[in-house]
Amino acid sequence: MFKYSLFTCLLFIACNAGIQKASTNMPAIAFDQQGHRGCRGLMPENTIPAMLKAIDLGVTTLETDAVITKDKQVVLSHEPFFNHEISAHPDGRKVSAGEEKSLNIYQMGYAEVKRYDVGMQPHPRFPQQQKLAAVKPLLADMIDAAEQYCAAQKKQPVHYNIETKSAAETDGLYHPAPAAFVELLVGVIRSKKVEDRVTIQSFDIRTLQYLHQRYPGIQTALLIEDFDTRPLADQLNELGFVPTIYSPHYSLVTPALVKACRDNKLRIVPWTVNDQPSIRKLKQMGVDGIISDYPNLFAGL
């Protein structure tokens, strides 16, 4: 009872203290080239091979998603279950659309999660994706792999953009409540000593509000769906503070929106942009970065 009461109080403070600017010590990247789920267009999404390939392609930030297991491990996964498009059972059978949501990662220990393959199924929407045996990794293991790879290749350390996959209607069913979710995520980030290179992004503003109150030094990014056409001011008023980054669907970006972000001292990094003409157009508008399934498209821009 206590932790939910505390979270409610923090939300009240966040939403009633006026619009505040998030604090961070992280230096801004000149133009942030983010690999979506590593490089989903080229490698199995949210896997360590995808992250290392993205580093090879020169990304400045690895974008990924976090879910929580029954034994409170933070795992890379876009859904809190095994998506039928990419998953196979331990015995090799393809996961079906009808059963996918019953394969609830929040109800599995990580020892069970890592028995499922998420790299060998041909992806219906990403035909260029290389197929290889792969599992959903622990966030901690992905960070270790990326840090070691950058050091071995003599590359600049990458940044991490991690999405909390949560929603109010699925609290306690597919994930813990916001406070518990954020605490587990921040625990990994701090243990790996990368908090100065991490952004936490979400469509679920509750996780961003809790993070802003509890860990104001960690960057936040507000994700915006393509159907959310409200004015920027209304979205920021709902959030209760000015995050570090505003991250809308790329179709929403206009010169006026870029200016509004500048006026609010907000960096703008749209998602998910998968062709060079659109990347070039958005860059000319003045966005601060791009999230793409195909980070190879950044070459030559």
**What's the count of helices (H) and strands (E) in the chain, helices before strands?**
9, 11
Q: Which domains does the chain have, with CATH numbers?
A: 31-81+131-298 (3.20.20.190)
Beta strands in 243-287 (DSSP E): 245-248, 267-268
Integer Cα distance of 213 and 101 in angstroms: 33
The pLDDT, as a whole number, for residue 25 is 54
d(CA 23, CA 135): 35
Distance (Å, rounded) from C-alpha 45 to C-alpha 264? 33
At 245, phi and psi to the nearest 5? -130, 140
| Residue 264: per-residue pLDDT | 96
Q: What is the pTM of this model?
A: 0.92
Tens-place pLDDT, residues 252-288: 999 999 999 999 999 999 999 999 999 999 999 999 9
Q: Over the stretch 17-40, which tens digit does the pLDDT of each residue have?
A: 446 665 455 567 889 999 999 999
> Percent of the chain at pLDDT above 90?
89
Q: Cα separation of 222 and 201, whole Å? A: 6
Residue 112 identity (one-letter amino acid): E
